Chain A
Amino acid sequence: MNIIVCVKNVPFTQEVDLALDASRQDIRKDNLVYVINEWDNYAIEEAIRIKEQSGGHVTAVTLGKEADEEVLRRCLAMGADEAIRIEPGNLKPDASMTAAMLAEVVKTLPHDLVLTGVQSDDFNNGITGGLMAERLGLAHAAVVNSIKPSDGKAQITIELEGGQDEMSRIDLPALFAIQTGINEPRYVSIMGIRKAAKKEIKVIQAEALGLPAADLQPDLIMEEIFMPPETEGAEMLQGDAGSLADQIVRIIREKGVSL
C-alpha cells in the first residue's frame, strides 16, 4: 500500500506568551519553537503502523522553507521511506493554495491512501485535506479516528460530536483527515533524527508545479490579528498555593458543594 502523509511544521504556542508582530498580520515567531503539527504526528504514526502491518511505502510531504525540513526528518526517523518538500518561494500560501500545491505533487506519486491532520495548530482551517481530495478525485472523510484497510476498502470511524462515532466503509484510494488520539505516536530520539538527517529530501519548487495563476491566489485575506477582548473574564485570585487553596475551598462551599 502506497501511503502519502502531508505534514506541517508549526510554532508551539501552548503555555507560551504570544505577541503580535509589527504588521499585525501575524504573531512574532522569532522566539518560538517549531514542532510537528499535533494532528500530523498522529497521521504519520498511523501511516507507519499500516505499513508495519501490511507492508507498503510511506512518503511524507510538506510545504515549507528549508528550516521546515526538520518535520520531514522527524517523519523519516519515525519510519517514513521518502520525504518531499515543496519550496513556496515568494508565495504566501493560505489553505486553498496549500491544498493545490500538495495535490499537484501527490498526483505524480502512486497513492492508495493519503493522510493529513484534521487541522493545523496555527490557523485551524481544517480544509487542506478536503480540498486535496476534491482536486485528486478521491473519496474523503474528515475527523477519522480509526482505519482498518482490507480488500480495496477501508472501514473507518469518524468522530462526531456528543460522544458518538460514525462507522463507514469507504473505497480506496481515499484521503482521510486524521484526528488526535487515533494511536499513540512513537517516541522519536535525537539519535533517530540525526540518522535521518543523512537521508535525501527531495525539493520541488512551487513555481515548477505549473499550477494556473488562479490556484495561487489566496481565498482569504488577513486584515488584522488582535488579542482577545479583555473586557470579560475570571476574577483572578492572588496569593501563595496555601492561600489560593483556602479561597478555592471557600468558593466551592459558597456555591453549595459540601466538602
Chain B
Amino acid sequence: MAEILVVAEHRNNELREITLQMLNKASDLGRKNNCEVSVALLGNNTDKLINDLKDRADRVIVYNDQRLQNFNPDDYKEILATLINERKPLITLMGHTPWSLDLAPALAFRTGYPLATDCVDILLDSGKPKVVRQVYSGKIFSRMAFREASGYLITVRGGAFPSSKSFDYQTEIIQVAMPTMAATSRREFIGYQDTCKGEVDITQAELLVSVGRGIGEEDNIEYVKELAGIMGGTLSCSRPIVDKKWLPKYHQVGTSGKSVKPKVYLALGISGAFQHVAGISGAGTVIAVNKDKKAPIFRVAQYGAVADLLNIVAALKGKVQGK
C-alpha cells in the first residue's frame, strides 16, 4: 500500500500547528486513495509528542535522542534521507517553514525525488500528485505536475488546510534506534530569542489600524499613528514596514510577527501576503483599503475599498474628530 509520510515539526516540546494541518490533508488523501499515513518524529523525550500524534496516523516512526532535542539540520537530513530511501513513500509532506526551507531541498537532492514547495493544495490523479501553488506574490495560482518519479516531496503552506481533530487510526508506534551519525555537526544551536517584545502589545487591541507597503514614505507613518490614537486603536503593520525599520518589530502582524485578534482590523495599504494573512485569522472583521483592486487582502477582508490610503486616513480623522 502506498504511504504518505508526514515530517512532524515541533518546538519546545509542542507540535507546531502545521503538523496537524499536514496530518489532516494526509488522512484525507489517504482515505480517498487507499494510502497509509505515517509520521516521522525526531526529538528527545518524545512521550508527550507521541501522545499528541496518537489516533492521527497509521504509525509514528520515532527517533528519540538527545541530539534531536532541537532542530538540527545535519542530523535531520541524514535520518530522513535514509528513512525515505528505505520506505519509499509516495508522498513526503513537510511544512513550508524556515526549517523545511533548509531540510526539503537537501532531501530532494539526497533522495532524487522532485520537490514542490509552498503548496496550498495537493491532488492525487491516478496515483500521481499535482499541486496548486501561488506565484507572483499570491496574485496568480498555478497547477503543477512533477516529473516522473517513484516518490514526491511537498512542503505545505501554513493555514492551507485545517488542523486535524484526532481520527480513528490504530496508531502503531515504531521506535527506531538512532543511526550512527557524524561526530560533529557543522551547525551548533545556541538558543532562541524573542524578537517581538516591546512597549506595545498588539495582541490585546480591540481595534488595530495597520499599515503596509502602500504607505509609501516613512513620514506618513506618523500620520497613521495619529489616526490610530484618535480612534482609540493601536498601530500595527506588515513586514515591509519593519524591514525598512520604520516601526519596531513588536508592531508586526504575521507569521514572523504576532497573531492578532482585534474586533476590527483596518488594513491600510497592505497587499495581503499569506504570511500576513495568517496573522489576522483571529480578527473579527477585516476592512481593507488598497489602491490595487486585485490585492490578495480583498480575498480575506469582509469589507474593501479601492482608494488611496492617505485620502482615507485624512477623511477618517475628520469624521472621528468631528464627533
Chain A residues packing against B (C-beta within 8 Å): 11, 13-18, 20, 27, 96, 99, 118, 121-127, 129-131, 133-135, 139-143, 155, 157-171, 174, 177, 180-181, 184, 217-228, 232-237, 241-242, 244-249, 251-252, 255-259
Contact = CB atoms under 8 A, between A and B. Distances in A.
A165 B136 CA distance: 27
Contact of B135 (A122, A141, A174, A252): A122
B146 A220 contact: yes
Nearest to A243: B315
B140 interface: yes
Contacts of B263: 255-257
A131 B307 contact: no
Contacts of B294: 17-18
A140 B106 contact: yes
B150 interface: no
13 contacts: A15-B291, A125-B118, A139-B187, A142-B98, A161-B255, A162-B258, A163-B249, A165-B192, A167-B192, A180-B239, A221-B147, A228-B299, A236-B298
Given A228-B139, A234-B301, 18 more contacts: A13-B136, A27-B140, A126-B117, A131-B109, A134-B106, A134-B109, A157-B193, A160-B11, A160-B97, A163-B194, A225-B143, A228-B140, A232-B299, A234-B286, A236-B303, A241-B308, A242-B318, A248-B312
A15 B214 contact: yes
Interface stretch (B19-27, B56-64, B240-248): B240-248
A234 B245 contact: no
Contacts of A14: 137, 213, 271, 292
Nearest to B244: A184
Contacts, number: 277
B249 A246 contact: no
B192 A166 contact: yes
A217 B196 contact: no
Contacts of A257: 206-207, 232-233, 263-264
Contact of B292 (A15, A162, A252): A15
B318 A245 contact: yes
B303 A228 contact: no
Contact of A249 (B96, B98, B258, B319): B319
B101 A126 contact: yes
A234 B286 CA distance: 9
Interface in B256-299: 256-259, 263-264, 266, 271, 284-289, 291-292, 294-296, 298-299
Nearest to B132: A226
B242 A163 contact: no
Interface string B298-320: 11111111111001101110111
Contact of B311 (A11, A129, A130, A241): A241
A146 B239 CA distance: 17
Contacts of A184: 244-245
B97 A161 contact: yes
A236 B97 contact: no
B323 interface: yes
A123 B137 CA distance: 8
Contacts of B190: 155, 167-169
Contact of B193 (A118, A130, A165): A165
A179 to B, nearest CB: 8
Contacts of A220: 114, 116, 144-147
